[in-house]
Amino acid sequence: MMRRWIAALLGLGLMLSVSACGTLQRPDGPVRITDGALLPAQDPRIRSSDTARLSAFSDEIGERFGHGGSMTMLALSGGGANGAYGAGLLVGWTEHGDRPKFDIVTGVSTGALAAPFAFLGSEWDPQLKAAYTDGGASNLLSWRSFAAFLYPSLFSNSALRNLVDENVTPELLQAIAREHAAGRRLLVATTDLDSQDTIIWDMGLLATQGDENAITLFKQVLVASASIPGVFPPMLIAGLQPDNTVVMEMHVDGGVNTPFLAIPEPLLLWTRERQPGAAQSALYVVVNGQTERNDAPTPGRLTSILMRSYDSMSKASLRTHLTATTAFARRNGMALSLSAIPGNVEASSADFDQETMNALFELGQTLARDGRAWVRLDTATMEHPATPTEIAPDAVPEALRPKTPQTSPTEPLPAPQS
């Protein structure tokens, strides 16, 4: 029912976009501000086009972990309502007893909303669970949020902003600041539509500054990273230019450019010299979605064609990023593990129904608690490819059982040769 309703809204949104009902008041050129801009004392932005700053950031990480040490990193992908899977996985991982204390945690879109809790560790599992299962997210795409006549999107972001306000507490920011001071890093990605650049935000730096501007910007970044274009309006965020002018940049979902933030694009081809005796670093990627293709007839309706095309495009991009990240991990001796929603589960990023999100949370929790959530990509070969997690059909929660038969076998994940 939810998916049909979303499909109808997409069709309505297409018609409204043609008639240009909702707009964001903005001149054709960049909006320049002379005073009153929300700017933190230190700019937390790292642009993927800024290779010098990226290199310095990479050197900082290498300095801390490259000399006989190791680094453990967690990357949380986008996926809308499917973020409940990743949240459940983290809680189940705690219950399994071997969840690491991550040196770096990154988040994109819904992964950005979960990243602060994942960064702070198992003690914050109750808050993480509540954020995805207490029903607060069910208002994100409700009729009360419908605002296509006011914004260049189907819905306003008021419910999303309220969700962020409720979860970004002074206690959370103080805890993030303490961990940042200890050398750990919390990073969130947005997409700057004006420059078409992926922006990496150092959220720990913002939490450390702690003034009103920094706290406001911390919340703006989380909302922007989860602002799916066309569904929620973009966020205008002040940015300082090299000539010291302040420009209002248009930021949207980080997933527009990258499904997850692991290795920044300019660094993907790097190969770092490993120090003798250095322990193996580990990268864990949580995909709040599915990686496999689904073979099923596509109805001839406009909304069905659009949704099926978007799903296919998103999965192709995800597999490409996984392939590139796997190649990087293999070259640099890094253990790469992936967890994704099993292919025989019905999962929709737009289904914020509380029953469905609770079922996804419990699925992730069960797989992680039982030690069945992860597959290794760096050790896979063409002869022995990594195979996504499967669960028995009768073990799929009722709310997640496919409504149409699955006719294709499970497809192995990409495993490039070194």
331 to 115, 374, 379: CA distances (angstroms)? 27, 21, 12
Just list the catalytic residues. 109, 253
Structure token digits, residue 327? 């190649």
| CB within 8 Å of 88: residues ≥ 6 apart | 129, 132, 360, 361, 362, 363, 364, 365, 366, 368
Question: CA 404 to CA 6: how far, in whole Å?
Answer: 18
- Helical H segments across 210-353, by residue range: 212-225, 302-331
- DSSP-assigned beta bridge partners for residue 286: 76, 339
Pick from 91, 174, 75, 167: nearest CA to 126: 91
d(CA 314, CA 291): 9
Tell me the three state secondary structure of residue 250.
strand
Pick from 282, 370, 389, 368: which is nearest to 93 by CA?
A: 368
Alpha-helical segments (H) within 68-169: 83-96, 110-120, 125-133, 158-167
